[in-house]
Amino acid sequence: MAKIGFLGLGNMGGPMAKNLAKAGHQVTGFDPVAAALDAAKAGGVTPAVTPAAAAKGAEVVITMLPAGQHVKAAYLGAEGLLAGAPKGTLFVDSSTIDVASAKTVHEAAAAAGQHFVDAPVSGGVAGAEGATLTFMCGGSEAAFGQARPLLEKMGKNIIHAGGAGAGQAAKVCNNMILGISMIAISEAFALAEKLGLDPAKLHDISSKSSGSCWAMLNHNPVPGLVPTAAANRDYKPGFGATLMLKDLKLAVEAATGAGASIPLGAEAAQLYNMFVQQGNGALDYSAIYKMVKGA
């Protein structure tokens, strides 16, 4: 069983660390929020008082932090994780961050003689709790092979997307599809209602036709059509609109850096920005249907 350091025990990292402990690994965790540390402790994670203390003696260090600046602050510099660990330590960052920051950490890890995998996830808090996450991984075959058995204790689908930053690239592209899809579905169901078409009939037809997509089948924004949808729980997330906006902004940033044209992705980012600015950030991302319908 591996000795694992785990940084970031929030909504996602907390249950992920607990699943590793449940699988018999020796997990030492750190989070600046005392309540997060206490909850992880109750799930079998040994609490540490600093990031360095959590990483000390670990064969593998996993991070699940809010954004790119937190990841760079944790990994880089003389006091960072990469400098503090023995050469050959495996680091896995499962945070959703910008592709450029992920590549920066990959380069620093290689220079420090460490192994690094960018491994963002899909599946949300339910996936983290149930150990059914999808991991999209970027890094060398060797580092991915080392990380895989641990990721399997936290997820169901573990996919090697390619080299440095490929996991983050997959994540932003996937979530851009999801964001655009949700707006498309919202427009279609709002239009259907104006045309006097029963939303249940549209769902019945479209879910079996060429308009069908994952978001419609699993997260239909019209209440009462799909049992798993947040729409049935007053749009309680689920996947929060703030997180969707974060991911769409990352897609726009990545596209700008790569010189790619994403007019619909950019428009989706603007619409989610408007939705969040109107005070809806804590609602599920599917609640944008209400704004689309009202507009």
Question: Known catalytic residue: 171?
Answer: yes
Strand residues in 140-239 grouped as ranges (E): 155-162
Pick the binder of ligand NAD from 58, 82, 176, 243 (CB under 6 A): 243
Given the complex with ligand NAD, which of 65 and 99 has the nearer CB atom?
65
Instruction: Give the CB-side neighbour count of residue 3, counting CA atoms within 13 A.
Output: 8
Rounded Cα–Cα distance for residues 98 and 245 (Å)? 13
Q: Does an H or E element contain 25, and which?
A: none
Torsion of CA 27, 40, 156, 107, to 10 degrees: -60
Site for ligand NAD in 102-121 (CB under 6 A): 121
Work out which of 19, 28, 95, 104 binds ligand NAD, going by CB under 6 A: 95
Q: Is 131 in the site for ligand NAD (CB under 6 A)?
A: no
Binding mask 61-80 for ligand NAD (x = CB under 6 A): ---xxx---x---x------
Contact 232, 223 (CB under 8 A): yes
CB-wise, 8 or 199, nearer to ligand NAD? 8
What are the start-end ranges of the E strands in 98-227? 115-118, 121-122, 133-138, 155-162
The one segment of 24-32, 40-48, 184-192, 271-279 that binds ligand NAD by CB under 6 A: 24-32
DSSP type of residue 286: G
17 binds ligand NAD (CB under 6 A): no
Q: Is 55 in the site for ligand NAD (CB under 6 A)?
A: no
Looking at 18, 72, 103, 171, which residue is catalytic?
171
Asked if 239 interacts with ligand NAD (CB under 6 A), we say yes
Q: CB of 25 within 8 A of CB of 1? A: yes
Which three-class secondary structure string do you get for 215-256?
HHHHHCCCCCCCCCCHHHHCCCCCCEHHHHHHHHHHHHHHHH
Least distance from ligand NAD to the Cβ atom of residue 97, Å = 6
Nearer of residues 133 and 222 to ligand NAD, judged by Cβ? 133
Taking CB atoms, the residue at the shortest distance from ligand NAD is 10
Q: Which residues are catalytic?
A: 171
Residues that bind ligand NAD (CB under 6 A): 7-13, 30-33, 36, 51, 64-66, 70, 74, 95-96, 121, 124-125, 239, 243, 246
